[in-house]
């Protein structure tokens, strides 16, 4: 194991896309930001120095941060922001994980431009459980707004309505030639005939789940969220914000130029977004003048594809990489996901859209929840988040309009150390059904079941996959359906859980788990680092 050091300077830089130039927040002036390359077992020290006029915090999405929430990064959950002119060193060990993850700003909408990949190579001498690729490449999706992202967010808050959708999707920060002025902002991957490539695909988009395909080439999925899967071959992958997917691609087609394309999956009523980001897979020796071929992508509302794709995702569950699925559940949680309307005196219409879990809209605290928990500071949060919704109703049928209003609160759930938890996330028809990629910090979980309609606690658990369910850190709750996850609460601390659609996070679709210390000293949270940003 080694110590890897990185310096992240938060700087504003002028970048032009789609015929517009604008200042954006970056790490080291790069967009997307630098890749963090580490090996399983390494200690990583990232010094973040903030030279911009925005408050900053960085989250290492998918790293478990065992007993070390101080390095997790979500602002006001595990730390206060790094203010202008200040620094903080994220200091963490990469233990028991290998694969592709990513990092991003975890404050307001700044992750629109502040994001990058994390590559964790397996321990020396440990090969991948799939053919060694000739070369690997990072493919990271994003969203680009021509206007200032902070203004977009503020506009949304003022109207109480969704702000403008992004102007483009991007691949490695580039929208590709289907967008205006974007010929030169096109990512190209050069390949050699008969060689195999590992693509580390990351969805860093703020609000869109994406289909991705490469014309003429299949992909073999081998890993999701830094966990190996049973390999399967597909023309198209589906990836929600927050998720990562590693695929192998064989360059065995007629040498040519082929488009890689990403476009939103949108099966909720009234959602339309057809913007297609493209990049080019180019065989060595083929001139740039050859017109690339476009891949066929599923229709934007192809729910059937989404269901069958997600059903193919299985943990590898080899002797070396076991899926340790909790078979007995100590704590049953059932959370409804609702969109709703709350009064808003400062909003243009006097109301605003909100989002809630069990009818509670989470209110951000003024100091970090982890500090409040560790130092026993009273009055910051309440430990009374309900295990079940206030009134059971026909969640995906006729909505109870009374449920459209929500109660506000910084309310979280207390979980006993090492207990096994089952959480069912149920989408509802409050306002509208929609799919929600849920992300839990500090843990991977097993996706033991999913379905359309209302979760049936009598019948559905009998159908759970407790053998090789996918293990991940972000999972989609299907439009008008439910998803059940299980995990063992063996990582003490305060761990954020939220919808990874930034729009919904901002509306309050979030809460946290306070996982208590165990009895032994090695079952407790580490003490905080000296340079932890003060509030
Ligand atoms: Cu990728 Cu709480 O975030």
pLDDT in tens, 104-118: 999 999 999 999 999
- Please name the residue whose Cα sits nearest to atom 3 of ligand 1: 61
Q: What are the φ/ψ torsions at residue 150 (nearest 5 degrees)?
A: -65, -40
**What's the CA gap between 347 and 351, in Å, rounded?**
6
Atom of ligand 1 nearest to the CA of 62: 1
Ligand 1 neighbours by CB, cut-off 6 Å: 59, 61, 74, 104, 106, 242, 439, 441, 496, 498, 500
| Closest listed residue to residue 99, CA positions, set 69, 61, 48 | 61
Which residues does the chain have with pLDDT short of 70? 270-271, 399-400, 402
- Residue 397 Cα to ligand 1 midpoint, Å, equals 30
| Closest listed residue to residue 144, CA positions, set 125, 124, 168, 171 | 168
**What's the CA gap between 291 and 269, in Å, rounded?**
36
ipTM (interface predicted TM): 0.99
Atom of ligand 1 nearest to the CA of 498: 2
- Residue 256 Cα to ligand 1 midpoint, Å, equals 38
What pairs with residue 317 in β-bridges? none
pLDDT at residue 335 in the model: 98
Cis peptide before 377 (omega within 30 of 0): no
- Residue 439 Cα to ligand 1 midpoint, Å, equals 6
Q: Residues in the chain, how many? A: 535
pLDDT at residue 273 in the model: 77
- Residue 86 Cα to ligand 1 midpoint, Å, equals 23
- Residue 400 Cα to ligand 1 midpoint, Å, equals 31
* Eight-state DSSP code of residue 440: E
Give SS3 for 404. Answer: helix
**What's the CA gap between 309 and 231, in Å, rounded?**
13
Atom of ligand 1 nearest to the CA of 242: 1
pTM: 0.97
Each domain of the chain, given as residue ranges in start order, spans 1-126, 130-315, 331-523
Give SS3 for 22. Answer: strand
pLDDT at residue 271 in the model: 66
Superfamily of domain 130-315: Cupredoxins -  blue copper proteins (2.60.40.420)
Is the domain spanning 331-523 CATH 2.60.40.420? The answer is yes
Identical fold for domains 130-315 and 331-523, yes or no, is yes
Atom of ligand 1 nearest to the CA of 441: 2
Token pair, residue 44, equals 């990583």
Distances (CA, A) of 275 to 18, 83, 203: 13, 36, 15
**What's the CA gap between 169 and 66, in Å, rounded?**
34
pLDDT at residue 270 in the model: 65
- Residue 119 Cα to ligand 1 midpoint, Å, equals 17
Token pair, residue 534, equals 């003060």
pLDDT at residue 239 in the model: 98
pLDDT at residue 339 in the model: 84
- Residue 159 Cα to ligand 1 midpoint, Å, equals 25
pLDDT at residue 13 in the model: 97
Burial of 44 by CB count in 10 Å (0-12 exposed, 13-18 middle, 19+ buried)?
buried
Alpha-carbon 202 to chain mean position: 9
Q: List pLDDT tens digits, range 325-337.
A: 999 999 999 999 9
**What's the CA gap between 61 and 502, in Å, rounded?**
14
- Residue 198 Cα to ligand 1 midpoint, Å, equals 25
Q: What CATH number was assigned to the domain covering residues 1-126? A: 2.60.40.420
């Amino acid at each position: 194991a080694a110590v890897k050091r990185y310096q992240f300077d938060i700087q504003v830089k002028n970048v032009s896309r789609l015929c517009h130039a604008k200042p954006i927040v970056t790490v080291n002036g790069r967009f997307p930001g630098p890749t963090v390359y580490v090996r399983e077992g390494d200690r990583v020290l990232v010094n973040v120095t903030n030279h911009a006029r925005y408050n900053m915090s960085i989250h290492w999405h998918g790293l478990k941060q065992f007993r070390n929430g101080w390095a997790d990064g979500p602002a006001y959950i595990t730390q206060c922001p790094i203010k202008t002119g200040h620094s903080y060193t994220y200091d963490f060990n990469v233990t028991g994980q290998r694969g592709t993850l990513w990092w991003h700003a975890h404050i307001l909408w700044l992750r629109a431009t502040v994001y990058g990949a994390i590559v964790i190579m397996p321990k020396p001498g440990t090969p991948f459980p799939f053919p060694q690729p000739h070369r690997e490449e990072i493919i990271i999706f994003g969203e680009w707004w021509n206007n200032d992202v902070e203004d977009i967010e503020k506009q949304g808050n003022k109207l109480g309505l969704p702000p403008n959708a992004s102007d483009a999707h991007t691949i490695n920060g580039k929208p590709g030639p289907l967008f205006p002025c974007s010929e030169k902002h096109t990512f190209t991957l050069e390949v050699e005939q008969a060689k195999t490539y590992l693509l580390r695909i990351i969805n860093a988009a703020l609000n869109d789940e994406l289909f991705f395909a490469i014309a003429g080439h299949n992909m073999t999925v081998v890993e999701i969220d830094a966990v190996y899967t049973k390999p399967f071959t597909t023309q198209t992958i589906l990836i929600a914000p927050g998720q990562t997917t590693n695929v192998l691609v064989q360059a065995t087609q007629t040498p040519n130029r082929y488009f890689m394309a990403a476009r939103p999956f949108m099966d909720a009523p009234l959602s339309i977004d057809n913007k297609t980001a493209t990049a080019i897979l180019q065989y060595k020796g083929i001139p740039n003048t050859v017109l690339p071929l476009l891949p066929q992508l599923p229709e934007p509302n192809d729910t059937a594809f989404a269901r069958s794709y997600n059903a193919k995702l299985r943990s590898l569950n080899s002797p070396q990489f076991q899926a340790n699925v909790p078979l007995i559940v100590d704590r049953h949680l059932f959370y409804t996901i609702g969109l709703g309307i709350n009064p808003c005196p400062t909003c243009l219409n006097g109301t605003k859209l909100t989002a809630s879990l069990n009818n509670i809209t989470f209110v951000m605290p003024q100091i970090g929840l982890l500090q409040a928990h560790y130092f026993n500071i009273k009055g910051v949060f309440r430990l009374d988040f309900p295990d079940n919704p206030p009134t059971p109703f026909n969640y995906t049928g006729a909505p109870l309009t009374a449920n459209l209003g929500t109660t506000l609160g910084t309310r979280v759930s207390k979980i006993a150390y090492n207990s096994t938890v089952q959480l069912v996330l149920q989408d509802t028809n409050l306002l509208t059904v929609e799919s929600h990629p849920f992300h839990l910090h500090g843990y991977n979980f097993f996706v033991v079941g999913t379905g359309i309609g209302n979760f049936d606690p009598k019948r559905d658990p009998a159908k759970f996959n407790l053998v090789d369910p996918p293990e991940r850190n972000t999972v989609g709750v299907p439009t008008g359906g439910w998803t059940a996850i299980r995990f063992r609460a063996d990582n003490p601390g305060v761990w954020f859980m939220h919808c990874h659609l930034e729009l919904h996070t901002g509306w309050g679709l979030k809460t946290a788990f306070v996982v208590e210390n165990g009895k032994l000293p090695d079952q407790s949270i580490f003490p905080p680092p000296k340079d932890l940003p003060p509030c």
